[in-house]
Amino acid sequence: MADNELTMKLDGKDVPFTQGETIFDIAQRNDVFIPTLCFDPRLKPFGSCRMCAVEVKGIKNPVASCTTAATAGMEVNTVTEVLEKHRKTLLEMVVSENRELEVSPLRGVASQELSILVEKYGAKTGRFKGAQSGHSRLDDKNPFILRDYDLCISCYRCVRVCAEQEGDYAISVMNRGFHTQITTEFNLELRSSACTFCGQCVQTCPTGALADKKALRHA
């Protein structure tokens, strides 16, 4: 190991890293699983869902591994009883927003992400009940993208991929809290927005709230 190489401890193991890497980047490179919901490797880290929280020695509360840069000598634990409980509770809160977990994988490549995590952590779907944000726009007549926001968990991946990858800014967010609604400018149909129907939003959605109408028709 070079004298000036940076190292940190990940789950008790010394691992090298380069300046600027996040804890999540380093974990991925070392095949250490950390659950995520708002993360997409193509997008800037957002840090909103907190699923990726890990414990760092000397820091009282868990930190989001996707937005926290590693520092030399840092000691990180990715799996503890407290973290696993936190992740399960978070998932139970998230699913209270989502009306349907069992969706066809044909909806999109990431469409099973939430349901897989729910199963992995044994999260209960009925633990939290209350107001739900996001209402489907099944009336949108475009032939390509299904907008089933009843399944939306407000991860904003669709909004970010549209802006960061396509530069279209066709998808936006209206209101806040339980009134949050993923929408378009002026809350119009996709055809009346800047959408080019590239399908990036469909492919990043972790719940199938956005889906490929064509694939579903063929199925």
Residues that bind ligand SF4 (CB under 6 A): 152-158, 182, 204-207, 209-210
Question: 100 with 33: CB under 8 angstroms?
Answer: no
Question: Cβ of residue 27: shortest distance to ligand FES, in angstroms?
Answer: 11
- For residues 73 and 166, give the distance between their C-alpha atoms in angstroms, rounded to a whole number: 38
The encoded tokens of residue 191 equal 């055809």
Q: Which of 119, 171, 95 is nearest to 140 (CA)?
A: 171
The correct pick among 26, 51, 123, 170 for binding ligand FES (CB under 6 A) is 51
Residue 44 makes CB contacts below 8 A (sequence gap 6+) with: 160, 164
Give the CA diameter of the chain: 62
The correct pick among 64, 70, 117, 123 for binding ligand FES (CB under 6 A) is 64
Question: Cβ of residue 5: shortest distance to ligand FES, in angstroms?
Answer: 26
Question: Cβ of residue 71: shortest distance to ligand SF4, in angstroms?
Answer: 31
* 190 contacts ligand FES (rule: CB under 6 A): no
Question: Cβ of residue 25: shortest distance to ligand FES, in angstroms?
Answer: 12
* 49 contacts ligand FES (rule: CB under 6 A): yes
Which of the listed partners (ligand SF4, ligand FES, none) does 36 bind, with a CB threshold of 5 to 8 Å by partner kind?
Answer: ligand FES
Tell me how many residues contact ligand FES (CB under 6 A).
Answer: 12
Burial annotation 32-54 (CB, 10 A radius, 16+ → b, else e) = bebbbbbbbeebebbbbbbbbbb
Q: Residue 192 carries which DSSP code?
A: G
- Give the pairing of strands 63-64 and 53-56: antiparallel
* 121 contacts ligand FES (rule: CB under 6 A): no
Q: Which of 158, 160, 157, 163 is nearest to 194 (CA)?
A: 163
Which of the listed partners (ligand FES, ligand SF4, none) does 154 bind, with a CB threshold of 5 to 8 Å by partner kind?
Answer: ligand SF4
* 117 contacts ligand FES (rule: CB under 6 A): no
Give the interface segment with ligand FES, choosing from 5-13, 31-39, 177-185, 194-202 (CB under 6 A). 31-39
| Residues forming the site for ligand FES (CB under 6 A) | 36-39, 47-52, 64, 66
